[in-house]
Amino acid sequence: MKKRLLVLSDTHGRKTAIDLVLAKAGEVDAVFHLGDNIRDALYIRDSGRTVYCVKGNCDLNDEADTEMILHMAGCRILITHGHKYGVKYGRDKLIYRAMELEVDAAFYGHTHVPYNAYFEGILILNPGSISEPRFGKPTFAVAEVQAGTIRANLKTL
């Protein structure tokens, strides 16, 4: 069964931008919020959507995991904010962690810069930021998972 996933990060409390993304993304089976305002994930959940979230470096007092592995349509997906892996200085530590965990994809945020590529067969995805983009327009991602394969597209707001 095919699953359609909305991937967000670094929303930083911008509910108007979140509402625009939810409308633009259309029907999704789940929303992945990768931290930096985890309370925004609760706002999305209150709209009746299924939400998976991890906390980021700005979510100091919020109780949530800093990483999680989810199983979707035959794929294992690591979600993390990325700050614990130094992603502002490169993706190597995150990629090594993804390989160690034998996941099919690793979703991260923190840099506010979108990224969508495969490394050794693992999808490495950063949706960017819808609230405080660096080097461009506000972005998010939509991933599709089916029968153990995963692909993602970056979208502008």
DSSP state of 110: S
Tell me the HSE value of 30 on the side-chain side, using a 13 A CA sphere: 16
Local confidence band at 53 (pLDDT 50, 70, 90 cut-offs): very high
Q: Which amino acid is at 53?
A: C
Domain boundaries, the chain: 3-156
Tell me the per-residue pLDDT of 81-129, one tens digit each, with 9 for 90 and over.
999 999 999 999 999 999 999 999 999 999 999 999 999 999 999 999 9
The CATH architecture that domain 3-156 belongs to is: 4-Layer Sandwich (3.60)
Residue type, 49: R
Residue 115 DSSP class = E
116 CB-near residues (< 8 Å, 6+ apart): 123, 124, 125, 126, 141, 152, 153, 154
pTM greater than 0.85 (yes/no): yes
